[in-house]
């Protein structure tokens, strides 16, 4: 899959993106989300804990531009859980 036209990280392999096309023409107000795998991991230590990020999660919005998060599979699992629970809570609150 081709990287989004606005992607600045050429060492990242796009795994999935929305929208799926690669048109440089944006509909006003539309965003791009892209999940990718980096060629080389970024490793660091924080408070004596080693951490390794080998994935990217990027969000492009017309207002904010491109925001890139260096992540790992555990981060994606956490995001998946958070978003699932948050959507359920949102639905519950909207039904009140």
Of the candidate ranges 6-10, 14-18, 75-79, the one whose mean pLDDT is the lowest = 6-10
pLDDT score recorded for residue 24: 63
Q: How far apart are CA 12 and CA 56, in angstroms?
A: 7
Look at residue 54 and tell me whether its pLDDT is greater than 90. Answer: yes
Q: Above pLDDT 90, what percent of the chain? A: 67
Q: Say which residue, 39 or 23, is predicted with more confidence.
A: 39
Cβ atoms 41, 69 nearer than 8 A: no
Return the SS3 of 9.
coil
Q: How far apart are CA 48 and CA 36, in angstroms?
A: 28
pLDDT score recorded for residue 3: 85
Look at residue 23 and tell me whether its pLDDT is greater than 70. Answer: no
pLDDT score recorded for residue 29: 78
* pTM across the whole model: 0.83
Across the range 2-7, mean pLDDT stands at: 85
Torsion angle in degrees (nearest 10) through CA of 91, 93, 94, 96: 130
């Amino acid at each position: 899959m081709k990287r989004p036209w606005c992607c600045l990280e050429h060492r990242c392999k796009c795994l999935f993106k929305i929208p799926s096309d690669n048109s440089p023409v944006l509909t006003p107000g539309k965003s791009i989300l892209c999940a990718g795998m980096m060629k080389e991991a970024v490793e660091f230590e924080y408070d004596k804990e080693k951490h390794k990020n080998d994935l990217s999660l990027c969000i492009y919005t017309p207002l904010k531009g491109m925001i890139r998060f260096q992540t790992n599979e555990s981060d994606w699992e956490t995001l998946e859980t958070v978003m699932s629970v948050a959507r359920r809570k949102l639905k519950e609150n909207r039904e009140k």
